[in-house]
Amino acid sequence: MKNISIIIVILFSSLLFTSCEDYLTQDSPDKPTTDQIWVSYDAAESYMMSAYTYISNTGWSYHEYFYLPQNFRGDDIFPEFGTTAWGYLGRIVSFNNTAADVSDYIWGRWYKGIKLANDVIENVPNMDMISQEEKDQLVAEAKFLRAFYLFNLQKNFHAIVMPLNVAGSTGELQLPTSTREAVYKQLEEDFTFASKHLPLSWDDENEGRATRNAAFAFLGKTCLFNKENQKALDAFAEIKGQSLLSGAEYRSMFDGTNEVNDEIIFSRGYTADQMDILYLYHQLGVAMSPEELRGGWHMASISDYFMSQLEPNDIRRAASVLLSGEEFDGEVITFNDYPDFKMSIKYVESLSAIETNRSVVDLIMMRYADVVLMEAEAYYEVGNGEKALEKVNDIRERAGLDKVNLSGTQLRDEIRKQRMIELVGEGSRFYDLVRWDIAQEQLTTANQPYAKNFEAKHNYFPVPLEEVQRNPMVDPTPGF
């Protein structure tokens, strides 16, 4: 797809010169100066776009620091020896992690994104040379990104710091952790502002930037996570022009052949050109493959529990999972050494991507199927079983399944099951289990290999040890 990634990298390099690898409490070497940035709309826009940089990452660091923590702790994808053989990764997935493990990396990167967004939010309103409409749009995009990063921090960590202003000194960066209520209040404010001032769509050259629909989708998700179900429904109702692709097109969202469509609401784009010129790619293809398939890294597999929840003729099975003896990329694939291996193939486009350790399939952060299932859940929670059933049947029909006629807890369980099947490998399942307060129960039911180690404290990562050491206002997370 055409997207903003090349622009981001070029501008980020030219404007910031260096990337600080330290944490929230350090003075930032990339603090913008007035004569560099806040002199024109184009310069301010360029700086704002650099804040997208920290949504994901490139190379091996993406699957290890982003994808693994978000996908390998649930009941649908289980870690394999390619993960557990590495001490720091193995501790994450076996629920033996410490405050000094891999989660400190995502903490640091997401706070860098927040810092850049705050620069825009604070400085753009003072730019007299641009119109109010231009100011509102730039600030809206920055607030969307700030809220996006804060939302991800909130759902991953026991407690987070919430910087909302540009700090003038290290002391001003040393903030206490915020309450969950304060964070969700800020998220709703930021996503609401973004929904009022972002465009419904962008031209092709700006594909991938946040839109009004993305703001409403994340606003609704925020409200759902905060158990404000009617507010979630109100936000979802504002989404316009999005729809489910046909069942025949389902796989195309994950193999690089149809990355701009009416179902995708917000994604992180990669292209072959960027891979060759700027070394922007991820390695999910090789990471999710068994070692006998083109030198795969054997990091994870689809669980037997997930497979047991599938119904016959569900089109999502073949689009999401590769079994031994099935065709992939024009070849019949046989897992001789691991005949029962179930390979996750979302974001795996080809055998070449596995062989070369280079994948450029766009990573989806929000799609309309997620919205439909969140609507189903919210309708159920407010007592409107009829609408909840309608929404979950929309998902079932697209998957090639018959409609169901359920009510009560059976309907609730069907909604939850469909979220697992529909969104497998998309970073949703573990967080759903946590917010439903059934993580420990489900890990045990699914025979997750490390379920016995799971405690309530593992619903979230601890505040990173380096943050605690740098910031005297942050206490260590109990139990870690």
Is 70 exceeded by the pLDDT of residue 461? yes
- What is the pLDDT of the chain when averaged over all its residues? 92
| DSSP codes of every residue in 175-216 | -PEEPHHHHHHHHHHHHHHHHHHS-S---GGGTTS--HHHHH
Supply angle C-alpha 299, 272, 334, rounded to 5: 40
Q: With bands split at pLDDT 50, 70 and 90, how would you rate the model's confidence at 12?
A: very low
More reliable by pLDDT, 276 or 328: 328
Is 90 exceeded by the pLDDT of residue 375? yes
pLDDT at position 27 = 40
pLDDT at position 1 = 52
**Tokens (6 digits) for 348:** 């795996």
Question: CA–CA separation, 37 vs 88, rounded Å?
Answer: 39
By three-state DSSP, how is residue 86 classified?
Answer: coil
Question: CA–CA separation, 145 vs 329, rounded Å?
Answer: 36
List residues bridging with 79 in a β-sheet. Answer: 300
Is 70 exceeded by the pLDDT of residue 317? yes
Per-residue pLDDT tens over the stretch 20-66: 334 344 444 445 566 789 999 999 999 999 999 999 888 899 999 99
Residue 238 burial (CB < 10 Å; 0-12/13-18/19+)? Answer: middle
Classify the phi-psi angles of 198: left when phi > 0, otherwise alpha if psi is within -120 to 50, otherwise beta. Answer: beta
pLDDT at position 34 = 61
- CB-CB contact of 398 with 246 (8 Å): yes
Length of the chain: 480
Per-residue pLDDT tens over the stretch 138-166: 999 999 999 999 999 999 999 999 999 99
pLDDT at position 372 = 99
pTM of structure: 0.94
CATH architecture of 5-273+364-470: Alpha Horseshoe (1.25)
List residues bridging with 10 in a β-sheet. Answer: none
φ, ψ dihedrals at 364, nearest 5°: -90, 125
How confident is the model over 105-125, as a mean pLDDT?
Answer: 96
Q: Domains of the chain: which residue ranges?
A: 5-273+364-470
Question: Which residue, 66, 375, 361, 347, is CA-closest to 217?
Answer: 375
Instruction: For the chain, report the end-to-end CA distance as a whole number of angstroms.
Output: 43
Question: CA–CA separation, 19 vs 112, rounded Å?
Answer: 9
pLDDT at position 30 = 47
Residue 196 burial (CB < 10 Å; 0-12/13-18/19+)? Answer: exposed
Residue type, 447: N
How confident is the model over 178-197, as a mean pLDDT?
Answer: 98
Question: CA–CA separation, 249 vs 159, rounded Å?
Answer: 40
**Tokens (6 digits) for 448:** 């997750």
How confident is the model over 77-102, as a mean pLDDT?
Answer: 94
More reliable by pLDDT, 350 or 276: 350
Question: Which residue, 221, 161, 163, is CA-closest to 191?
Answer: 221
